Amino acid sequence: VRARVMEVTESPDVSYEDIGGLEDQMQEVRETVEMPLENPGMFDDVGIEPPSGVLLYGPPGTGKTMLAKAVANQTDATFIKMAGSELVHKFIGEGAKLVRDLFKVAREHEPAVIFIDEIDAIAATRTESKTSGDAEVQRTMMQLLAEMDGFEERGEIRIIAATNRFDMLDRAILRPGRFDRLIEVPKPGKEGRELIFEIHTRGMNVSDDVEFTALAEEADVASGADIKAICTEAGMFAIRDDRTEIRMDDFRDAWEKIQADGDETDDVSK
Ligand code: ATP
């Protein structure tokens, strides 16, 4: 069970240079996660507790997982990822045990960054989690809080959680000593989008006619994940046309296709 729900990576291959347009967020993650891992004595010397948990919140595909991976990479920490939804839905009755296992694995792999994606699945307000698994969800969350509250003895372990549903979170997890640093990770602005286009085309054979500034303007609602998809799809358009060089029109067609596909998916879910 452990192997299937927990993703353990000794050295994730994401670095800060791979992340576009989140300078402030990166800075804050570095201060709150990287510094205490690299220089724990500094917090002792100053006489303050480093933050135990950091919560990243914002829309899907904006780079929350990347930020967590990059900080683990930078600090040579093991990256241990678990999705909140898997914790409670896939292995009913196992949630609390999996949380205990998660921290055990982290202790065995210090320094470690624990990343809990979709934390809202285990830490939703009581009123909103009215499914039959309610008691199970509560038990899982209690175990998580217990692990975090015993944090001083925890050594070189930092916890990063992420959610797309900040509004749904049980405030208990936001108390001091728990996820007491909140970092909003929004969709990229125009400049951010341009940087993300540049990042994702680094290894691509891009024609001279491609203007990232214009693309960033046109793809005005795109997330980072959308931009990555645009770049890959643009490459596909070139291949279909039997070219090795990707042109401006390929990017435009790709963005149109991705928007159309997205609309279809929306319709299906309605
Ligand atoms: P979710 O909430 O859906 O889990 P997330 O915010 O964790 O999403 P990531 O998994 O970090 O999003 O991003 C998905 C992919 O989108 C990344 O692997 C990357 O290719 C691309 N991406 C997203 N944001 C950025 C960014 N700011 N800079 C560069 N690439 C990005």
What are the tens digits of pLDDT across the range 22-75?
A: 999 999 999 888 888 888 788 889 988 777 789 999 999 999 999 999 999 999
Query: Nearest CA to 255 among 225, 224, 231?
Result: 231
Do residues 77 and 183 make contact, with C-beta atoms less than 8 angstroms apart?
no
What are the tens digits of pLDDT across the range 103-141?
A: 999 999 999 999 999 999 888 776 554 555 578 888 888
Determine whether the shortest distance from the Cβ of 85 to ligand 1 is under 6 A: no
Q: What gap in Å lies between CA 207 and CA 154, rounded to an integer?
A: 52
Say which DSSP state 112 is in. E
Residue 61, marked binder: yes
Model-level pTM? Answer: 0.91
Q: What is the ipTM of this complex?
A: 0.97
Q: What gap in Å lies between CA 39 and CA 49, rounded to an integer?
A: 13
Query: Nearest CA to 166 among 225, 114, 125, 127?
Result: 125
**Closest residue to atom 10 of ligand 1, CA basis:** 65
Ligand 1 atom closest to the Cα of residue 199 is 29
What are the tens digits of pLDDT across the range 168-224?
A: 898 888 888 788 899 999 999 999 999 999 999 999 999 999 999 999 999 999 999
Determine whether the shortest distance from the Cβ of 165 to ligand 1 is under 6 A: no
Determine whether the shortest distance from the Cβ of 234 to ligand 1 is under 6 A: no
Q: What gap in Å lies between CA 182 and CA 161, rounded to an integer?
A: 10
- What SS3 class is residue 179? strand
Which residue is associated with the tokens 């791979």? 18
* pLDDT at residue 125 in the model: 74
Do residues 19 and 143 make contact, with C-beta atoms less than 8 angstroms apart?
no
**Closest residue to atom 2 of ligand 1, CA basis:** 60
Determine whether the shortest distance from the Cβ of 225 to ligand 1 is under 6 A: yes
**What separation in Å is there between the alpha carbon of 146 and the centre of ligand 1?**
30
